[in-house]
């Protein structure tokens, strides 16, 4: 393995060894505290532009599965058609893997994608620094080969993960427009499994102006700062004015909040893992959720017509909003999981009842 370094914007340097693609890379360094699920996390479009640190000490021991697609051409094992992270940081990478589903090593998977990984890093010390100082820009240096720092929060990342054309998955009589800002494959599957036809559209496609026929609207997850998506926010406002059912997840929650009149802000280090506790403010029940986000809705700016639906049990940040009278609902976490617990997948059923 070649020698490498992870260099943070503040000058902090961690030395290690490179696996995957032996190329330099840069992005925002973030951490996830999940124990499993790296194939799904690496292909999650919400990680676009980020260098992902995995806090679990041993990574790669179960390899990466070969691709398998369903009858709609949707991957059953990955959350999109490519790796979205800019780099992977681990404490100990296992070159040897063993799993009945495995088709290749994690290193080979990253190499094919052109993405570097770095092992031998004190991920505990790195995570503590990010928790104290907040997520910061960083770069992976390979054998002294450098690259410039890159901030994914200062540009609109959505065109890189959103489709260019409209695509329809025909299933049932109910029709759902899915505003794809970087949707995960398992989210699409949840609607199809519930016999709903999905019309998947680009982030800036005005489907109302185009005359699309639909029963409801879904706003997906995705990377970056929601305040930069003015086109999407305008479209959501149109949906609100028509009073059609609207459901948002992750970035979709933030975009719906902005469209309603609220503001968003950047969290110090975000929520990224499959073990995030959220409390339903209507029932008082706490659910374990899968999360991947760096921004949140400022509850003080939420209009009086809206309620905070879910709240994070650890830091009390807004994890979901719901209109008091109209069929608008959104959550900050990922009820579709992949990876993670399925405690809240019933929210898809709640929304479909509104169609």
Cα radius of gyration rounded to whole Å, the chain: 20
- Give residue 28's region: left, alpha or beta (phi > 0; psi -120 to 50): beta
Which of the following is catalytic: 250, 293, 311, 319?
250
What is the C-alpha separation between 285 and 276, in angstroms, rounded? Answer: 14
Which of the following is catalytic: 28, 311, 319, 336?
336
CA 263 vs CA 259, 267, 325: distances in Å: 9, 13, 21
| Three-state secondary structure readout of the chain | CCEEEEEECCCCEEEEEEEECCCCEEEEEEEECCCCCHHHHHCCHHHCCEEEEECCCEECCCCEECCCECCCCCECCCCCCCCCCCEEECCEECCCCCCCCEEECHHHHHHHHCCEEEECCCHHHHHHHHHHHCCEEEEEEECCECCCCCCHHHCCCHHHCCCCCCEEECCCCEEEEEEECCCCHHHHHHHHHCCEEEEEEECCCCCCCCCCCCCEEEECCCCCCHHHCHHHHHHHHHHHHHCCCEEEECHHHHHHHHHHCCCEEEEEEEEEEEEEEEEECCCCCEEEEEEEEEEEECHHHCCCCEEEEEEECCCCCEEEEEECCCCEEEECCECCCCCCCCCCCHHHHHHHCCC
Which of the following is catalytic: 84, 293, 312, 334?
334
Catalytic (active site) residue 334: yes
Q: Is the peptide bond before 49 cis (omega within 30 degrees of 0)?
A: no
Q: Measured in Å, how far apart are the chain's first and last C-alpha atoms? A: 54
Query: Which residues participate in catalysis according to the annotation?
Result: 250, 334, 336
């Amino acid at each position: 393995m070649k020698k490498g370094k992870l260099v943070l914007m503040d000058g902090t340097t961690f030395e290690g060894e490179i696996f995957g693609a032996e190329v330099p890379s840069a992005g925002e360094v973030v951490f996830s505290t999940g124990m499993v699920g790296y194939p799904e996390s690496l292909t999650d479009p919400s990680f676009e532009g980020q260098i992902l640190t995995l806090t679990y000490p041993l990574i790669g021991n179960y390899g990466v599965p070969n691709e398998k697609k369903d009858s709609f051409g949707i991957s059953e094992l990955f959350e999109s058609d490519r790796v979205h992270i800019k780099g992977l940081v681990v404490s100990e990478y296992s070159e040897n893997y063993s799993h009945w589903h495995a088709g290749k090593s994690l290193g080979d998977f990253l190499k094919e994608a052109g993405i570097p990984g770095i092992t031998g890093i004190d991920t505990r010390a790195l995570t503590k620094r990010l928790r104290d100082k907040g997520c910061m820009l960083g770069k992976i240096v390979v054998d002294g080969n450098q690259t410039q720092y890159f901030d994914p929060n200062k540009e609109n990342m959505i065109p890189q993960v959103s489709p260019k054309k409209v695509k329809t998955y025909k299933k049932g009589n109910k029709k759902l427009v899915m505003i794809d800002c970087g949707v995960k494959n398992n989210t699409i599957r949840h609607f199809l499994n519930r016999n709903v036809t999905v019309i998947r559209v680009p982030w800036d496609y005005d489907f109302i102006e185009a005359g699309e026929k639909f029963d409801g609207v879904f706003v997906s997850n995705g990377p970056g700062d929601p305040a930069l998506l003015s086109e999407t926010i305008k479209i959501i406002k149109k949906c609100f004015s028509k009073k059609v059912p609207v459901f948002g997840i992750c970035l979709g929650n933030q975009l719906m909040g902005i469209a309603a009149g609220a503001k968003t802000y950047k969290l110090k280090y975000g929520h990224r893992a499959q073990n995030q506790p959220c409390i339903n403010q209507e029932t008082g029940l706490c659910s374990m959720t899968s999360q991947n986000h760096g921004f949140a809705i400022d509850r003080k700016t939420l209009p009086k017509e809206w309620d905070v639906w879910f709240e994070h049990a650890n830091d009390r940040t807004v994890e979901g909003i719901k209109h008091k009278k109209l069929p608008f609902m959104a959550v900050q976490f990922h009820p579709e999981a992949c990876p993670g617990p399925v405690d809240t997948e019933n929210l898809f059923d709640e929304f479909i009842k509104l169609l």
